[in-house]
Structure 1
Amino acid sequence: MSQQLVVGIDIGGTNTKFGVVDRRGNILCDGRMLTNQHEDVNGFLDELHEHLSGLIEQAGGMEHIKGIGVGAPNGNYYTGNIEYAPNLRWKGIVPLASLLEQKFGLPTVLTNDANAAALGELIYGAARGMKDFIVITLGTGVGSGIVANGQLIYGHDGFAGELGHCIVIPDGRPHPGTGALGSLEAYASATGVTASALEFLATRPDTPSTMREHSKEEINSKLIYEAAMQGDPLAREVYEFTGKILGAALANFVMFSSPEAIILFGGLTKAGDLIMKPVREHMEKNLLPIFQNKVKLLFSELKESDAAILGASALAWEMKE
């Protein structure tokens, strides 16, 4: 009997999303679980197996599943390993593809989570028909997938495209996972935005903010977003500051690969123009004239939960029979 379905899994620093997908890119059923609840990868796999087994049965049974595609932080397409992911609790090298193969008895292929999101955009989303584009994922971390001449860029070792770890402010804010000083992820991720808000609350006592009514522990990217949408001056300054740093970084990325578009994806994009306006302004301001006003800056057209699942599933469809 011919296989008709694949499983797509998106492992993020906070949440893991998964779904059963058909050839047309329809997610027939899906679910999610917390990634960071499990210190040991085997506990994570046990819970994932429990969730997915139910979904696979719902979709018609294991005999219909061709394989599993996975997007994960520091996922290496060549080895099938997650290697030294700063945003995951599992340290060192985790042979995730082979562990999943053992658990499910299905062929499994793995790539970087942002590469999976880029594949999702290429096949189903805003990058359809494009040969040169960059996807930037703005979530717990900052990921990126780079497509040039119609090909995902993996590099010689499988780790090309870690734009979130580029240094944007020399000797700047320490990254809690890598220890690097001044990386883009330390500023433009959800955790970076929270760190900026806490800094601003401490160093700008005269700027009014409803966030001052909350304890440090209560302040997170969701609270900052809600405050900004209600016109909170300090929360809006945080977005302006974040957009300035991200925009300058995107200018560097444009001058490296001259993409047709940069597609922003993930939780921070919910802020809309609050983030997009300063990003666009500072990207254009930092570009050489030959690059100015040429690059489309877009939000993902896919549902936040869908892009990486669909991209991961595309990997599974590409596997040889």
Structure 2
Amino acid sequence: MKEKHAIGIDVGGTNTKFGIVNKKGVILVQDRIKTNEHENVEEFIDDLAEKLNPMIEQYGGPEAFVGIGMGAPNANYYQGTIEYAANLKWKGIIPMAELLEQKFKIPAKLTNDANAAAVGEMQYGAAKGMKNFITITLGTGVGSGIIIDGKIVLGHNGFAGELGHVIVRNGGREHKGTGLKGSLEAYASATGVRDTAIELLQETQHSPSLLENYPINELTSETVFKCAEQGDSLANEVFEFTGQILGEALATFVHFSAPEAIVLFGGLTKAGDLIMKPTRQAMEDNLLQVFKNKVKILYSDLQEADAAILGASALVW
């Protein structure tokens, strides 16, 4: 019997990446198109088909594929729709699964990008063989996916698992995108690290810092990391503060779902022990005894460039 393949599509605000994936999680061929160059979704699908159809034919035609998996912002797994995505030009409710099936004659499923990442970790990554774990992506924002008893947690409307928007500091820092005050994403994202650095620099009393050599508009989480690596006390304080908040939040999530592991992914993980040491400490300090020293914190071992395609493709196996 001929080997079947899957298609993984990751829709980002700027680029859409896609590829052909085999059962072992090897991306056989991949490409990308610009997402927001298309005023309407039909043009986007046409552009996608122009590049994807030759790949499909190369690997045996539509009948050789188990399905198309797509990770996208505000994607509803139950309905197969993208709903009111703030960073996409196509407004309202987009029947994306139906449009893909009509164009490619292959069954399609979609979920939000963070859930797709969780399924990818279970199928191909650090959580392979696990049935209870949480993935947290620490990037520009904080994405998350929750797996319980081998199933992704979707909730009654398909949008469950938004751990980045959980309030961790009542009345705290305002999140510019949502208006929520004190959410995890406002603190434990790359943007949050930058905002914490700015707040500490603006305090009347603070120790001299290498960060003062940078204009405010040039400060990034990477800048803070570079200064912390050089032993800068204020930059280290930023990571201590961020790790404290993240660790407290992880303890809350452990109490909720009793995971075997928490798998971390994204740019902030490159800070290594600078952020992980305070994170682990704060998590353990805030756990009930029954959970202490029982939950692993792991780094994703999926290649960052490939993870989104792999995660999307894993939806259909």
- Aligned partner letter, 1:184: L
Unmatched runs of 5 consecutive residues or more in structure 1: none
**Residues 242-251 or 169-178, more deviating:** 169-178
Is 1:189 matched up with 2:189?
yes
Partner residue, 1:279: 279
TM-score when scaled to structure 1?
0.86
Contact 2:8 / 2:313 at 8 angstroms: preserved in 1?
yes
Q: Is the 8 A contact 2:24 2:124 kept in 1?
A: no
Alpha-carbon shift at residue 33 of structure 1 (Å) = 5.5
Q: Name the SS for the 1:290 alignment partner.
A: helix
Q: Which residue of 1 aligns with 2:83?
A: 83
Of 165-174 and 228-237, more deviation after overlay is shown by 228-237
Query: 3-state SS of the aligned residue for 1:79?
Result: coil
Partner of 2:21: 21
- Within a 5 Å distance, the mapping from 1:59-138 to structure 2 comes to 59-60=58-59, 62-63=61-62, 64-86=64-86, 88=88, 90-138=90-138
Using the alignment, how far apart are the partners of 2:212 and 2:16 within structure 1?
A: 32
1:257 deviates by 0.9
- 1:111-156 superposed Cα distances (whole Å, 9 cap, x missing partner): 1211111111111111122111111111222111111112111112
The DSSP-based 3-state class of the residue aligned with 1:237 is helix
Partner of 1:233: 233
Judged with a 3 Å threshold, the aligned counterparts in structure 2 of structure 1 residues 21 and 193 are, in CA distance, closer, same or farther, namely same
Q: Which residue is 1:160 aligned to?
A: 160
TM-score normalised over the length of structure 2:
0.87
Quickly say closer, same or farther: Cα 1:131–1:76, change in 2 above 3 A: same
Aligned length: 315
Q: Deviations over 1:293-321 (max 9, x none)?
A: 1111111121123333222112133xxxx
Tell me, in whole angstroms, the C-alpha distance in 2 between the residues paired with 1:8 and 1:124: 13
Cα distance, 1:189–1:91 mapped onto 2, change above 3 Å:
farther
Residue identity in the other structure for 2:312:
A
> What is the CA distance between 1:185 and its match in structure 2?
1.2
| Cα displacement string for residues 29-68 of structure 1 (whole angstroms, at most 9, x for unaligned residues) | 2345665x558453655654555456556x5475444432
The CA deviation string for residues 232-263 of structure 1, in whole angstroms up to 9 with x for no partner, is 33332222211111111110000011111111
**Match for residue 10 of structure 1?**
10
- Partner-residue secondary structure (3-state), 2:197: helix
* Structure 2: distance between partners of 1:175 and 1:309: 29
Cα RMSD over matched residues? 2.7
Identity of aligned residues (%): 61
Greater C-alpha Rg: 2
In structure 2, stretches of 5+ residues that fail to align are none
Asked if 2 retains the 8 angstrom alpha-carbon contact of 1:13 and 1:140, the reply is no
Q: Answer yes or no: is 1:313 the counterpart of 2:313.
A: yes
Residues 77 and 235 from structure 1, CA distance in 2 versus in 1: closer, same or farther, beyond 3 angstroms? same
